[in-house]
Structure 1
């Protein structure tokens, strides 16, 4: 009996694994899985993916074990990305693969850790989590006998690097997002090996993953913030679209207990945002009438997007969350401690690379200062929150 991966009726502008640009190291085709499905499976089985279970999303060491980690967030992004792709007749495996890999490069302690690593690496090219993701899937994962990295398809690599938009303008200069920091040297170096088409927009599938990330973290930061008691449901009436959803819940379920109200609000936020993306994306695609993935890449603007009105709503929500959650008095002390740990570990290992575990210690000791700093950044970025805290106790005297 022979097997073949199933083929579904895709939109003409969807990417098709059967016409993939391939892998850096050619491999025989699988008789049971498409190439994008294999990429997804490789990410799921990677060491970096498992570590997401013990990396912070927003909270660091707050009481309770029901808050999002990078792993639970990533799984939620994957589910939403797949739903968006299915509704738009895109390749669901590629959308999910990009979603599952999009946070692999985040450092320990969430954005607190990334900010400090970028500061510590300022003289050595900086630190960017999308560039770190590329380093992980092309270099730092050492699992296979024949190559470093995961040997992912070119389309997957493109999506991981530029799901938030092009990195280069048509004239070759950096886009506004990278004007101040510049584009990672590793991305530019790897682009010379595999053309990532940095001046083009990512595939529609990768754009689904980017929007799914926005939807997931906004909805679930509301959920975590409410469950942590950082703000109350009625506080969200400051945000017009969540106020409307609260009114809808109150009208249908008067006197609903708090835990159920929080869930009803969270699920409605997700549904509300997903439906907006479907409507806006369908309108953009109808205007563009793309007949190929190349038409998406050269469209000059994203085709998967929020409406302008919903984007304004989200800006108001983000301002609310920034004030009431990310800079809450209960979060700031652990945020600052996390930054102190990362800063201290970087300085310590840069001065004493022999204190890192192997193979990191040997790699660092064999390089100049810039090369050593990059190895230290790779080492710290790969740490889970728990491991980083343990290293801080061992080498810095930091107490829990």
Structure 2
């Protein structure tokens, strides 16, 4: 009996030493993969953050947006004032779709997921996609012309999710990886301050990105179970997603899920991977999980409402936007605009007018502000208050001033199409 007990003790001792202890050690090293931990700094205070907010895209991607159009396409990258940048891209997409007058508004509406009349996620949603296509970030470059991207999106609207770029994590990981992310940010800052030209930016970003890919290529194998290695794997999952390598991105996310104590960001990445292939229902499940785990993160609400609008789930889009406005910020332009857009599609025009008015008061970029005022106008008009409708329509045109006839034509085209 004593011999049997001794053997058992030795057996369970071996199990404890080689199985239980490693599991316990792994658990104690579990990292925090939440938005609040991975992206603690207020990105909206940065140059690129302010530019994105000015066109109504706010913090849909919490950090910065990948600069995907550098050397490709007609004229390469389009940088400059946020308004001209956004409307120029909108015009290119509109022209690619065969739209004449009002090409900018039509193009942005198409990028947002619909026609000039329907609007999809609206011009504001189109601006979000444009920023994802052309904004700089701590990410990687994908050379793709706006013409090619727009044709893909027009044919299969869900494809625009491919062009959303997630920012790399700057504050966590091994020193060599963090130094490369810092170097990428420094290159962006030089572009933002016009110390370097877009072509030089493209060359330098590709150089650093290639080195980063090399450093992170086997980060998810977990030969090293240290905390830094786990955060490197988070960056690997992001990097693979940005490179459109869904297989390796999902592989990294799945491996990380057993090594994190908070994993709301990983659920968000899962949702993005599902959206890039058009699996909306699976994406919705992951976004539900994300919001349940971290209700104070803004990005999931914006992505969720955009995807719900894609599928015509307007009641649910209103509900999710409402949660975001309650849990994160009651003045977020994107969520306010989404609420107006959903109410408009549900033909609750009085409610739509109220939502669009709130959105209007929380945006400052002229073209997007003017389009929002136009949506207020149309909503009032359709609700039966034609006087208010005309008043807001005139406000929309006045917002653009006397030197912006092309933008006025775009707003007028939208007005006529919606009415």
Give the TM-score of the pair, scaled to structure 2: 0.28
Bigger helix fraction = 2
RCO higher in structure (CA 8 A, sep ≥6)? 1
Larger Rg: 2
Give the TM-score of the pair, scaled to structure 1: 0.29
